[in-house]
C-alpha cells in the first residue's frame, strides 16, 4: 500500500512538471473519453459486458537482475455499445540481497472507440516503475488507430498504430525527459480448443532517446471451473538503455489465473 501511495505521488509530480503543450495533450486524451463515457450511460438497451482475470505466481527474470519474483496482476475488459475499455495493473517483488529489494509496478488503461466492426480509434494511458532496469517513473499517453484482420471463435488478429509522448524519470540522475513517440503493436490470439489459448504480441515504442521492443508469447490452459494455468515468456530489448542496464531483459511466468 505504501508503494502504491508513492507511485501515485510520483504520477502527480510528473503531471505538475509537464510543459503546457504536453499537459494539453493529456487533457485532449482524457476529456473525450469522459464525454463519450457519459453518453454511453444514456443507452441502457445495450447490455454491458464486464469480464476479467486475476493472476498470481512466480516469475524468473534475466538481464540486469537475474532472480525469481513473486508476481500478481489483474485484467478487466468492459464492453459497451461504442466503447471497449481495457485495464491492466500488476507488479512483482523479490529480495535481491539482505538489503536490496527488486520491485516493478506497471498499469495501463486503454479505451477503444468503435468505428466499424473491424476498426477503432484508441487512447492509452500507462505508468511504469522498474528501478533495477533504470526507470524510477515513466508515464505515457498515446492516441491511435486499430484494425482487426480476424475476429472469430478461433482467431483474433489486430494491428495498432499510435502517436504520443513518453515522460521518464531515470533512477540514476533523476532527470525528467519528455519524448514524442510512435507506437506499433501486433497481436495474435488463437483458441486451440475451448480450454486452450495461445497468444503472441510484438510491440515497438520508438522515441528519439531510445526504441523499446517487447515480445510476449503465452499459452493458457483451463484447469477446472474458472481456474487456469498460464506459462508465458516476455523479451524486452532497448537499443539505448540507461547506464549499467542491459539491453536485453526477459521474464518467464508460471501463474495461476482466476477468470471472472
Q: Residues 212-229: pLDDT tens digits?
A: 999 999 999 999 989 999
Q: What is the C-alpha separation between 42 and 38, in angstroms, rounded?
A: 7
- DSSP bridge pairs for 105: 91, 129
**What SS3 class is residue 42?**
coil
Give the pLDDT of residue 227.
Answer: 96
DSSP secondary structure of 50-82? EEEEEEEEEEEEESSS-EEEEEEEEEEEEE-SS
Its pTM stands at 0.79
| Those residues with Cβ within 8 angstroms of residue 105's Cβ, 6 or more apart along the chain or in another chain | 3, 4, 7, 90, 91, 127, 128, 129, 130
Query: Which residue segment(s) compose the domain that 233 sits in?
Result: 2-259
Q: What is the pLDDT of residues 6-27, one digit of tens each?
A: 544 554 454 445 443 444 344 4
- DSSP bridge pairs for 124: 110, 142
Report residue 9 CA to chain centroid gap.
20
65 phi/psi in degrees, rounded to 5: -125, 120
Cα end-to-end span (Å), the chain: 24
Give the pLDDT of residue 33.
Answer: 45
Give the pLDDT band of residue 84 (cuts 50, 70, 90).
very high
DSSP secondary structure of 127-193? EEEEGGGTEEEEEEEEEEEEEEEEESSSEEEEEEEEEEEEEEEETTT--EEEEEEEEEEEEEEEESS
Q: What is the C-alpha separation between 161 and 184, in angstroms, rounded?
A: 5
Q: What is the C-alpha separation between 184 and 56, in angstroms, rounded?
A: 29
How many domains would you assign to the chain? Answer: 1
Look at 34 and 89; give whichever has higher pLDDT: 89
Q: What percent of the chain has pLDDT over 70?
A: 78
Give the pLDDT of residue 134.
Answer: 84
Q: What is the pLDDT of residues 97-130, one digit of tens each?
A: 555 567 889 999 999 999 998 999 999 999 999 8
**CATH for 111:** 2.40.160.40
Closest CA to 123 of 37, 51, 189: 37
**Grid coordinates belonging to 141:** 499517453
Residue whose C-alpha cell is 488478429: 157
Look at 132 and 58; give whichever has higher pLDDT: 58
Amino acid at each position: 500500500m505504501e508503494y502504491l501511495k508513492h507511485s501515485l505521488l510520483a504520477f502527480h509530480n510528473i503531471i505538475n512538471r509537464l510543459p503546457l503543450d504536453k499537459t494539453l495533450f493529456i487533457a485532449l486524451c482524457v476529456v473525450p473519453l469522459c464525454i463519450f463515457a457519459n453518453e454511453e450511460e444514456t443507452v441502457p438497451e445495450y447490455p454491458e459486458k464486464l469480464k476479467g482475470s486475476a493472476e498470481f505466481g512466480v516469475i524468473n527474470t534475466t538481464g540486469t537482475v537475474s532472480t525469481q519474483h513473486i508476481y500478481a496482476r489483474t485484467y478487466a475488459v468492459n464492453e459497451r455499445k461504442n466503447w471497449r475499455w481495457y485495464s491492466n495493473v500488476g507488479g512483482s517483488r523479490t529480495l535481491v540481497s539482505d538489503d536490496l529489494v527488486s520491485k516493478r509496478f506497471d498499469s495501463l488503461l486503454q479505451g477503444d472507440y468503435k468505428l466499424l466492426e473491424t476498426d477503432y480509434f484508441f487512447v492509452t494511458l500507462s505508468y511504469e516503475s522498474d528501478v533495477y532496469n533504470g526507470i524510477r517513473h515513466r508515464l505515457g499517453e498515446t492516441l491511435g488507430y486499430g484494425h482487426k484482420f480476424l475476429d472469430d471463435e478461433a482467431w483474433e488478429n489486430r494491428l495498432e498504430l499510435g502517436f504520443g509522448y513518453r515522460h521518464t524519470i531515470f533512477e540514476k540522475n533523476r532527470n525528467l525527459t519528455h519524448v514524442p513517440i510512435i507506437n506499433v503493436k501486433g497481436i495474435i490470439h488463437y483458441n486451440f480448443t475451448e480450454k486452450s489459448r495461445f497468444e503472441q504480441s510484438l510491440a515497438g515504442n520508438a522515441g528519439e532517446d531510445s526504441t523499446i521492443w517487447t515480445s510476449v508469447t503465452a499459452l493458457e490452459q483451463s484447469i477446472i471451473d474458472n481456474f487456469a494455468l498460464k506459462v508465458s515468456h516476455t523479451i524486452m530489448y532497448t537499443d539505448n538503455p540507461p547506464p549499467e542496464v542491459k539491453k536485453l531483459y526477459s521474464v518467464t511466468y508460471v501463474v495461476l489465473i482466476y477468470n471472472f
